[in-house]
């Protein structure tokens, strides 16, 4: 069924577009909600005017979106959550959580569907997340997930992740230590084995030289 969109429907069509859509989609959704009208000659004659209106509207929106992007990229979005062993979260951080925290920064609601998060975040760390505010405005923002019970607070915990101190000693676990000790023992055994072989080789050479001298004396 051919319709003309009188409102922009994301993923389907922009205002003024004339398209063929499935009859059920048109009758059950687009037409009842006033998002589109049948593409009659009279309706199609208005298409150019509607497209111009949509272009102007989108330009205004994009300007607003660019302002939002500037505010969201000034500093990372910090989310404090409950954290268990090895930095794993109790639960997860999803696009709704990111949208909520971003909305608090912006002072206005942000639709969670604007947050393009493939999989929920389940580990403490720094993440780059894409936003889709419009076809032309799709920035990337930084999200930092930290332990909400960090001794110095979530802000300090986030800064520690973003700017780790230099020359920090790595954390050595019991398994790491055992592996290191085994490696050192194996290394010592190898050196001792080499020394033993060297001594045996030297002894054999000395015996050969002695025998040779005895033969010459005879």
Structural domains in the chain plus CATH codes: 2-69 (3.40.5.10), 76-162 (3.10.430.100)
pTM of this prediction exceeds 0.85: no
Digit-by-digit pLDDT tens for the chain (218 residues) are 999 998 888 889 888 899 999 999 999 999 999 999 999 988 888 888 888 888 898 899 899 999 988 988 888 999 999 998 888 999 899 999 999 999 888 888 889 999 998 899 999 999 999 999 888 899 999 999 999 888 888 888 888 888 887 754 444 434 444 455 565 555 555 545 545 555 555 545 555 454 444 444 44
How far, in Å, are 52, 77, 135, 156 from residue 13 at the CA level? 14, 33, 12, 46
Distance CA 213, CA 176 (A): 56
Structural contact between residues 112 and 133, judged by C-beta atoms closer than 8 angstroms: no
């Amino acid at each position: 069924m051919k319709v003309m969109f009188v409102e922009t429907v994301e993923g389907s069509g922009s205002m003024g577009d004339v398209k063929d859509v499935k009859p059920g989609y048109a009758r059950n959704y687009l037409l009842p909600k006033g998002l589109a009208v049948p593409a009659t000659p009279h309706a199609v004659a208005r298409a150019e005017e509607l497209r111009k209106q949509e272009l102007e509207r989108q330009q205004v929106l994009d300007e607003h979106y660019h302002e939002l992007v500037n505010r969201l990229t000034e500093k990372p979005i910090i989310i404090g959550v409950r954290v268990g062993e090895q930095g794993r979260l109790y639960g997860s951080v999803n696009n709704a959580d990111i949208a909520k925290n971003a909305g608090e920064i912006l002072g206005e609601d942000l639709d969670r569907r604007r947050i393009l998060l493939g999989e929920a975040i389940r580990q403490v760390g720094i993440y780059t997340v894409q936003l889709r505010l419009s076809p032309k405005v799709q920035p990337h923002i930084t999200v930092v997930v930290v332990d909400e019970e960090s001794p110095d607070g979530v802000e300090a915990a986030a800064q520690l992740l973003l700017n780790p101190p230099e020359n920090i000693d790595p954390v050595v676990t019991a398994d790491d230590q055992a592996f290191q000790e085994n490696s050192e023992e194996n290394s010592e055994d190898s050196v001792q084995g080499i020394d033993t072989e060297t001594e045996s080789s030297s002894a054999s050479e000395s015996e050969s030289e002695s025998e040779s001298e005895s033969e010459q004396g005879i």
